[in-house]
């Protein structure tokens, strides 16, 4: 097991606040709460004050479960609406304002992201958080600007060893899902039935290994549908046939941490051209994974995959990036593994490596792993026991 030694999470956050002359950050988006404290909310309406010079203070609604609250954080409850309290948010707002005032912190010294754009879902993931409530806080947090928000996004890039362990656990669960994918590749089974089986085994992991939340989003595309795998991912009612390529795109969230994996596999014997495409994509993906390491540019990693695919004249069918950051979200912010991208990989970064090629109207293939950059190379976090060597 490899180790990474980026600065501790509190140290990274303090440096960010100092560089942006902020004395506090107000966070409420589920991915921000996980990144800042390891806490995944149930309801999506918790607010954290992350002070530059004091222990973080988390306000949770009275209805929130109390059994997975974060360590090293002060916790207060605020009322919930409905029968007993008509306006819980004004009480919450007043409590946050009071805390900032007691610390002598002015609004221009507080940063915040108001929008839930590209955030993750809380545990009750059937519903978006009501971020209208977040706009109330703008009067307390006017210190955000493009520079500070970019600096905040950069905090997602370098995962600490503890966070890497959480992301190892997601990948372990995702791999249980991928084994169910392999096991269900039988003629006559529908794409949706395969996806349902994968999501089901992921969900069943709750209660094991300290897992209190585990959910997968599996999207399975077979035969000609796999040719659309570079455009969109979804599962239809199409039933698998012998000779199909079948692509699974699998997002998994465990306790608030994410993995993003793809496998492509055959049903029965493949026609030779489809088998060649799958071999090409597999080899391109391995080449790019092998190239991942500290101080390597994203452009170089991209080219390792793209050049192999181009050598067969298939680069016009490889229509997307080779990878992106992952871990606090299905797609973390940060630079892409992309042509001409000069950014360099650093220890603690976790990126997807996911080249693909999609022949219109025929079939497509993509292989995707999640790869940790270590001090001296890389570690593939997504070991899949059913992978063929």
Question: Can you give the binding site for a copy of itself, defined by CB under 8 A?
Answer: 42-43, 62-65, 82-84, 115-121, 123-132, 135, 190-193, 195-197, 199-201, 203-208, 211-214, 217, 219, 228, 231-238, 251, 253, 319-321, 329-331, 339
**Tokens 């391995």 -> residue:** 286
- Residue nearer to a copy of itself on the CB measure, 76 or 208: 208
Q: Do the strands 356-359 and 363-366 form a parallel or antiparallel pair, or are they unpaired?
A: antiparallel
Report the side by side order of strands in the sheet with 350-353. Answer: 350-353, 369-374, 377-380
Smallest distance from the beta carbon of 234 to a copy of itself, in angstroms? 6
We find the least distance from the C-beta atom of residue 42 to a copy of itself, in angstroms, to be 5
Q: How far is CA 293 from CA 143, 296, 371, in A?
A: 36, 6, 10
Taking the least distance from each CB to a copy of itself, the nearer of 303 and 374 is 303
Count Cβ neighbours within 10 Å for each residue of 310-332 and write b for 16 or more, e otherwise. Answer: eeeebeebbeebbbbbbbbbbeb
- CB 6, min distance to a copy of itself, A: 26
Q: Which is nearer to a copy of itself, 265 or 324 (CB)?
A: 324
Q: Which is nearer to a copy of itself, 279 or 311 (CB)?
A: 311
Q: Are 325 and 332 in contact (CB under 8 A)?
A: yes
Shortest separation between residue 110's beta carbon and a copy of itself, angstroms: 21
Q: How far is the CB of 207 from a copy of itself (least distance, A)?
A: 1
Q: How is residue 27 written in tokens?
A: 């966070």
Distance between CA atoms of 130 and 89, rounded to whole angstroms? 11
CA distance 388 to 257: 27
The nearest distance, CB 115 to a copy of itself, in angstroms, is 6
Is the torsion defined by CA of 234, 238, 239, 240 positive or negative? Answer: negative
Which residue, 125 or 312, is less far from a copy of itself as judged by CB?
125
**What is the H or E stretch that residue 195 is in?**
helix 191-203
Q: Name the token pair of 326.
A: 């992952």
Calpha distance 243→236 (Å, rounded)? 18
Cα gap 26→33, rounded to integer Å:
10
Nearest residue (CB) to a copy of itself, 221 versus 264? 221
Q: Closest separation between CB of residue 134 and a copy of itself, Å?
A: 9
Of 168 and 306, nearer to a copy of itself (C-beta) is 306
């Amino acid at each position: 097991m490899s180790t990474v030694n980026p600065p501790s999470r509190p140290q990274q956050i303090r440096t960010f606040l100092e560089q942006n002359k902020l004395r506090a950050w107000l966070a409420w988006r589920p991915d921000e709460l996980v990144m800042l404290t390891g806490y995944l909310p149930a309801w999506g309406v918790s607010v954290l004050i992350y002070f530059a010079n004091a222990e973080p203070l988390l306000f949770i609604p009275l209805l929130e479960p109390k059994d997975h609250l974060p360590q090293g954080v002060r916790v207060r409850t605020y009322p919930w609406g409905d029968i007993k309290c008509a306006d819980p948010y004004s009480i919450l707002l007043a409590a946050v304002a009071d805390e900032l005032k007691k610390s002598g912190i002015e609004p221009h010294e507080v940063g915040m992201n108001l929008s839930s754009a590209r955030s993750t879902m809380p545990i009750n993931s059937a519903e978006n958080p009501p971020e209208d409530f977040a706009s109330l806080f703008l009067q307390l947090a006017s210190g955000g600007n493009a520079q500070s928000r970019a600096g905040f996004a950069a905090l997602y890039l370098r995962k600490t060893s503890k966070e890497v362990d959480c992301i190892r656990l997601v990948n372990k669960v995702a791999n249980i899902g991928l084994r169910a994918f392999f096991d269900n590749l039988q003629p006559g089974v529908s794409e949706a039935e395969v996806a349902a089986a994968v999501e089901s085994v992921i969900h069943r992991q709750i209660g094991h290994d300290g897992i209190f939340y585990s959910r997968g989003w599996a999207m399975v595309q077979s035969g000609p549908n796999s040719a659309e795998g570079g455009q969109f991912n979804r599962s239809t009612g199409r039933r698998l046939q012998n000779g199909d390529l079948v692509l699974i795109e699998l997002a998994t969230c465990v306790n608030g941490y994410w993995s993003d994996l793809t496998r492509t596999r055959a049903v029965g014997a493949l026609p030779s051209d489809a088998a060649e495409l799958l071999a090409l994509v597999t080899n391109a993906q391995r080449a790019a994974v092998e190239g991942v390491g500290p101080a390597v540019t994203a452009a170089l990693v991209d080219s390792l995959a793209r050049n192999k695919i181009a050598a067969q004249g298939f680069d016009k069918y490889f229509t997307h990036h080779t990878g992106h950051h992952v871990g606090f979200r299905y797609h973390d912010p940060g630079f892409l593994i992309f042509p001409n991208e000069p950014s360099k990989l650093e220890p603690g970064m976790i990126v997807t490596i996911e080249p693909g090629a999609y022949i219109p109207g025929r079939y497509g293939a993509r292989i995707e792993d999640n790869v940790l950059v270590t001090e001296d190379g890389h570690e593939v976090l997504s070991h899949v026991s059913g992978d063929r060597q």
